[in-house]
Amino acid sequence: MKLTGAQIVVETLIELGVTDVFGYPGGQVLNLYDAIYEAGDRLHHILTAHEQGASHAADGYSRATGKVGVVIATSGPGATNLVTGIATAMLDSVPMVAITGNVPQDLIGRDSFQEIDITGITLPITKHNYFIHDVNKLADKIREAFRIAKSGRPGPVLIDIPKDIQTAVGEYEPKPVDPPFPQHIPSDEKIAQAAALIDSKSRPFIHIGGGVIGSQTEELVLELADKIDAVIGCSLMGLSGIPTDHPRFLGMQGMHGHYASSVASNDADLIIAIGTRFSDRATGNKAKFAQHAKIIHIDADFAEISKNITANVGITGDIAVALRKLIDSVHEANHMDWMDHIEDLRDKEASFLMDPPGVLTPLKVMETINKYKTAYTPVATDVGQHQMWAAQYIRFQKPRKMVSSGGLGTMGFGLGAAIGAAVGTGEHTVLITGDGSFGMNLNELATAVTYHVPVTIVLIDNKTLGMVRQWQTLFFNHHYADTNLDVRRTDFVKLAEAFGAVGVLAQTPEEFEAAFEKAMASDEVTVIDCLIDKDEFVLPMLPPGGAIDDIITVKKEV
């Protein structure tokens, strides 16, 4: 049938199973928005306060559901406002499709009003991108973009559609949705090498990343761990992949990882890394990382093998197939000494935990969240100390419940992402944020209120850029250069109310619990301003460039 380019975009999105899109209209996407208007209930568009918020919402939608998140923006500033969101998705391998308008092709290259080369700008931060020259290829390019976004190691794809393509009439015929591109099937030889290595070792440690959640191989990881008697740690992106309370799970490793997890990975004689890229935040000093261990690295992306940490055996391609074959190839094992050692580490870790009674602390906030959230509650975070406290103390039961910017570390990610997660899952979502991060994109409160998105915002308010302050305390002689936020006079309760949300101040554990319980039972957007001490530290801490011996576990007088 004959449709305009704008209508083709909408019909193709619907054909691909898209139900919700986030975006912001503007001059060069007027035709596209007219087609969205015509589509009525078939495609739900959520208008954000800023394109960056829309990009994080599409990202959070995808992280929480596994579906491809979609964001739409106009040309020029609309497109450039997506850049941080696209880069965030790229660094964390999130499948996302960004659609931008551009000026008509006869105005391209003339610095026309709101013209920008967004395919050029996003080249290094997309898995792939397109500039559409032909309306008759538009539908297939959108289909291909979705396929690329979700295949193998996922990632964001951008499609730039000049206005004349949106108005041109082209041919559109619906097609069945293509499956993802077939992945490489790991060879039996590689599996045999890995199995032999596993069988020869007695202190196995499985390190998982976001790739385990993306490939839905959590159960296989547990099956492998049970068979070879291994413990499991994870990167930030791997959180929620394994239930926090699982007896084999030690928690996140790395710079602010759990003590037992970081030390165990250092003491292991074998590390099986699955769906992870050995980020510097997860390994600390690479030269000193797991020096006694052989490394088996399993990843969908062959370029990750030996990129950061040299692998003794690298297995690339389909993680599910690799794990199935590996489980069938290894011998069952029991490593009593290793498990005893792990128990000692867990005991030692428990001894570091100090929490003054009666005072509202990050730990108490997180424990209260654990008490009232369900296994299905998505927990989004921003970036900073609060994010690490959430990573350390929030207890997850189901995958895709931790929605957090890992690789790029994007302050301002959280509120948009929480909105996306809540829209995608239909679940009341918790955002854990800080006063610094929240200040960056709090405008999206308007979006949450407008669309009645059930989000409870726990604002860990220490009146400082806490993570930077922690570094200034430890490494910069207490020079608190531009990190004090107590000079700001923002009243977060009034601010929430001004946006039409509920605002509550919590200064004690009791106040917080009462406010949080009420907020979770309500569908109103609530901001709970939790006042905590500005010198709370995230511990343990592996100092930058440090190795396991340098780990800081207890806060000294500062």
Partner 1 sequence: MAETTGNKFVIAVYVENKFGVLTRVTSMFTRRGFNIDSLTVGVTESPEYSRITITMSGDGYARAQMLNQLRKLFNVKKVELLEEVDAIERELVLVKIKNDPDKHQRVLAALDIFKAKIINYSVEALCIEVTGTPDKIDALIEMIRPLGIIELCRTGIVALQKGGGSILEQPDIN
Q: Which residue ranges make up the site for partner 1 (CB under 8 A)?
A: 119-120, 123-124, 127-128, 131, 133, 148, 184, 301-303, 305-307, 316-317
Output the furthest CA–CA distance in the chain (Å, rounded). 73
Please indicate whether residue 163 is annotated as part of the active site: yes
The residue among 121 and 339 lying less far from partner 1, judged by its C-beta, is: 121
The residue among 133 and 479 lying less far from partner 1, judged by its C-beta, is: 133
User: By C-alpha distance, which of 51, 13, 61 is closest to 422?
Assistant: 61
* Runs of H (alpha helix) within 178-311: 188-199, 210-214, 218-228, 259-267, 280-283
Indicate which residue of 7, 15, 22, 51 is catalytic. Answer: 51
Q: Which two tokens stand for residue 457?
A: 């915002």
Indicate which residue of 467, 472, 513, 516 is catalytic. Answer: 467
Please indicate whether residue 51 is annotated as part of the active site: yes
| Contacts (Cβ under 8 Å, ≥6 apart) of 8 | 135, 138, 139, 142, 170, 172
For the bound state, the minimum distance from the C-beta of residue 310 to partner 1, rounded and expressed in Å, comes to: 9
The residue among 279 and 306 lying less far from partner 1, judged by its C-beta, is: 306
Give the bridge partners for 45, in sequence order. Answer: 21
Indicate which residue of 127, 141, 150, 163 is catalytic. Answer: 163
For the bound state, the minimum distance from the C-beta of residue 412 to partner 1, rounded and expressed in Å, comes to: 23
Please indicate whether residue 438 is annotated as part of the active site: no
The residue among 120 and 545 lying less far from partner 1, judged by its C-beta, is: 120
Indicate which residue of 105, 114, 216, 507 is catalytic. Answer: 114
Kindly provide the b/e burial profile for residues 430-452, where b requires at least 16 CB atoms within 10 angstroms of the residue's own CB. Answer: bbbbbbbbbbbbbbbbbbbbbbe
- Secondary structure tally for the chain: helices H, strands E: 23, 20
User: By C-alpha distance, which of 22, 20, 10 is closest to 49?
Assistant: 22
Rg (CA), the chain: 24
User: Phi/psi at 476 (nearest 5 deg)?
Assistant: -130, 35
* Residue ranges of E strands in 2-108: 2-4, 20-23, 44-47, 69-73, 96-102
For the bound state, the minimum distance from the C-beta of residue 87 to partner 1, rounded and expressed in Å, comes to: 12
DSSP tag of 373? -
Residue type, 387: Q
For the bound state, the minimum distance from the C-beta of residue 128 to partner 1, rounded and expressed in Å, comes to: 4
The residue among 169 and 303 lying less far from partner 1, judged by its C-beta, is: 303
The residue among 107 and 108 lying less far from partner 1, judged by its C-beta, is: 108
The DSSP element (H or E) to which 78 belongs, if any, is helix 77-80
For the bound state, the minimum distance from the C-beta of residue 303 to partner 1, rounded and expressed in Å, comes to: 4
Which positions are catalytic?
Answer: 51, 113-114, 163, 467
